[in-house]
Chains A and B, each alone.
Chain A
Amino acid sequence: MKYRLVVIGASLGGLNSLRGVLSALPGTFRPAVAIVQHRGADADDTLQFLLQKECAHLVREAEDKEAIVPGKIYLAPGGYHLMVEENHFVLSMEASVNYAQPSVDLLFKTAAEHFGSRVIGVVLTGTGRDGALGLAEIERCGGVALIESRRTAFAHEMPEAAIEATLHPIELKLEEIGPYLVKLDQERETK
């Protein structure tokens, strides 16, 4: 398995884009998927419920120190930052980063640190610049940088900031992202 972890960041307009990506992942998709969608601290389980309806995999809110298991989809709980440490997630309540909590950058940077070239980062629709630096870090560590095309993204700022920050990003329309992830999962190990 060449890729172990897909990390996805979304803000304004994210529900529609997340549904689009997740609904295209078949039950055979192997990497774990971790999602940061910007939302309020007291958010309930509505987002989890809505995503689960579209999805062949189990969607759940990540718990502190929970092991990262292939084929599972993890959502950052409201009010926490979600980060990767070794082979598990850690949660933190420290202040907002780039005005955002949960922070896409924090998830992406820690994923790059611990999973290196086995990470695929995806920046979807959103306002602000969260995710741009994190995606650049994923790229620098040998991972893949995917960005939702401005042709389908509801809000352009996050995709634009990510394109600016990265060197070789792959820009895809929403309906192309899921199939592209499946294709990456089927790639052979090169080493």
Chain B
Amino acid sequence: MVQRYGYDFRDYSMTSLKRRIHLAMQKEQGVHTISAYQDRILHDPEAMVRFLDVVSVDVTAMFREPAFYKAFRDKVVPALRELPLIRIWHAGCATGEEAYSMAIVLHEEGLLEKSRLYATDINQRLLEQGKGRIFAIRQMKDYTANYQKADGKSDFSDYYTARHDEVILRAFLGKNIVWAEHNLVSDSSFNEFHVVLCRNVMIYFNRKLQGRVHRLIYDSLPVAGVLGLGHGESLQLTPYENCYEVVDRAAKLFRKIR
């Protein structure tokens, strides 16, 4: 798979990867053994796309972990105000819910116009979906509740238009988002950012690969740049533990100090 498609899963965390490989195999018609499935994927790029859809966990939501956005607003936004141009990297963005949530926060803080949000993922299909700005209407109740808990300053419904069972987010929220395919496993740093958010992406990697990605992030941040991780993640045990100070412990926000 590495040679044929450039996707390298060898340093993923085996426990959940094994589960998801079996899940993907169950969904694939007519294959019953791992070796037959491997053969299928290597000969059929469509099977690779389907495999990637199952294996790259794309669970996401707007304003997921509202406390994170609240802390971001209170403790990170003030420093961003001083910058002439703000660059934020959403590493492993899936369908972009986090990037759009950030766009809303920046808009409400009057900063969206001078911001560029780089939303990257390994899975091109998810990026295409994210670009469309279309989400299921049944999710809006949860998203609205999250938005309010995150100290949203407006009505969440101001940011979308409903049509049938879908909503489309307003166009200005997507205007400053740059979508790009990027593989944290094999690609290198591509810019310097004031903020890197990589939340609940590295939990699927083993410690060795986590170390590699932390280096990539470290290389992409200037001193005083901010890193955001998921609620269940930690900088402890990574080689970069001492290179950051805590901005908000519960929200897992850190600032590069050296």
Contacts and interface: CB of A to CB of B under 8 A. Distances in A.
Contact of A93 (B13, B15, B59, B236): B59
B22 to A, nearest CB: 12
A171 interface: no
B231 interface: yes
A103 to B, nearest CB: 11
Contact of A63 (B19, B64, B149, B232): B232
B19 A94 contact: yes
B13 A90 contact: yes
Contact of B15 (A41, A61, A66, A85): A85
B14 A62 contact: no
Which of B146, B204, B210, B250 is packed against the most chain A CB atoms within 10 Å? B204
Contacts of A90: 13, 15-16, 203
Interface in B200-230: 200, 202-204, 207, 210, 230
B57 A93 contact: yes
A94 B232 contact: no
Contacts of A65: 207, 210, 234, 237
B65 interface: yes
Contacts of A41: 64
A65 B14 CA distance: 12
A189 interface: no
Given A65-B207, A91-B203, A92-B57, A77 B231 contact: yes
A41 B60 CA distance: 11
Contact of B232 (A42, A62, A84, A85): A62
A95 interface: yes
Contacts of A62: 232
A175 interface: no
Contacts of B234: 63-66
B66 interface: yes
Interface in A14-66: 41-42, 44-45, 61-66
Contacts of B65: 42, 79
Which of A41, A62, A77 is packed against the most chain B CB atoms within 10 Å? A41
Contacts of A79: 64-65, 231-232
A52 to B, nearest CB: 16
A125 interface: no
B87 interface: no
A65 to B, nearest CB: 6
B149 A92 contact: no
Interface in B118-150: 146, 149
A30 to B, nearest CB: 23
B38 to A, nearest CB: 22
A110 interface: yes
Contacts of A66: 234
B233 interface: yes
A77 B65 CA distance: 12
Contacts of B15: 83-85, 90, 92, 110
A64 B57 contact: no
Contacts of B250: 45
A93 B200 contact: yes
Contacts of B237: 65
Given A91-B203, A94-B19, A85 B59 contact: no
6 contacts: A64-B230, A64-B232, A64-B234, A66-B234, A92-B57, A93-B59
Given A80-B231, A85-B14, A91-B232, 14 more contacts: A42-B65, A42-B66, A63-B233, A63-B234, A64-B202, A64-B203, A65-B207, A79-B64, A79-B231, A85-B15, A90-B13, A92-B15, A92-B57, A95-B59
Interface of A: 41-42, 44-45, 61-66, 77, 79-81, 83-85, 90-95, 110
A-B interface, 6 closest residue pairs, ranked by CB to CB distance from nearest: A63-B234, A85-B15, A91-B232, A92-B16, A93-B59, A64-B203
